[in-house]
Amino acid sequence: MLVNDLMRGRVLYVAELFPPRPPDCSVKKRTFPTRSYSAQTKWAGGASMKSMVQKTLLGLVFAGLLAVSAPAADVVIRLAPPRILVEKRPPRPSHNHVWVTGYHRWDGNAYQWQGGKWEEPPARHRRWVAHHYVRRNGGYVLVEGHWQ
């Protein structure tokens, strides 16, 4: 009996919140006046096309600045890198391949050796500049290897 009384109370509460509508056609539909697209968006409380374009361009500028500034952050390592290991090179795959020396990579806790490998230059007469560490901001910063 108690459960039925609770359910009956819930049904009454829901009916009070959402009373059923009479099935009459007297409800008028709100229509927008016939205007240009930009005037309609302004009339509807939206932003004008010009301000939407400005906001989009501003967002793209900030995204570009973030993309450019993110790689520019240097990781300064207080611990000096160990000496470079002398590696035994496997046979050269072809006459075009160049030896890319290994280096010690900082993984956030310690230096890990990243072994060397044979690579083909992206264009003729390019040379490999090896990874190396430079002293900067009271520590050591890795300068990535690259083709020159």
**Helix (DSSP H) and strand (DSSP E) numbers for the chain:** 3, 8
The reported pLDDT for the residue numbered 69 is 59
Residue 26: CA count within 13 A, CB half-sphere: 4
The burial of 80, by beta-carbon neighbours within 10 Å (0-12 exposed, 13-18 middle, 19 or more buried), is given as exposed
Confidence class for position 124, pLDDT limits 50, 70, 90? confident
pLDDT tens digit string along 21-74? 666 656 566 665 566 666 655 555 555 777 888 888 888 877 777 666 555 578
The reported pLDDT for the residue numbered 52 is 80
Say if residue 143's pLDDT is above 80: yes
Say if residue 19's pLDDT is above 70: no
The reported pLDDT for the residue numbered 135 is 94
The reported pLDDT for the residue numbered 145 is 94
The reported pLDDT for the residue numbered 56 is 85
DSSP result, 47-107: --HHHHHHHHHHHHHHHHHHHHHSTT----BSSPPPPPPPPPPPPPSSTT-EEE--EEEE-
pLDDT tens digit string along 69-116? 555 578 899 999 999 899 999 999 999 999 999 999 999 999 999 999
Q: What is the reported pTM?
A: 0.50
Q: What does the alpha-carbon distance between residue 141 and residue 100 come to, in Å, rounded to a whole number?
A: 20
Q: What does the alpha-carbon distance between residue 102 and residue 130 come to, in Å, rounded to a whole number?
A: 8
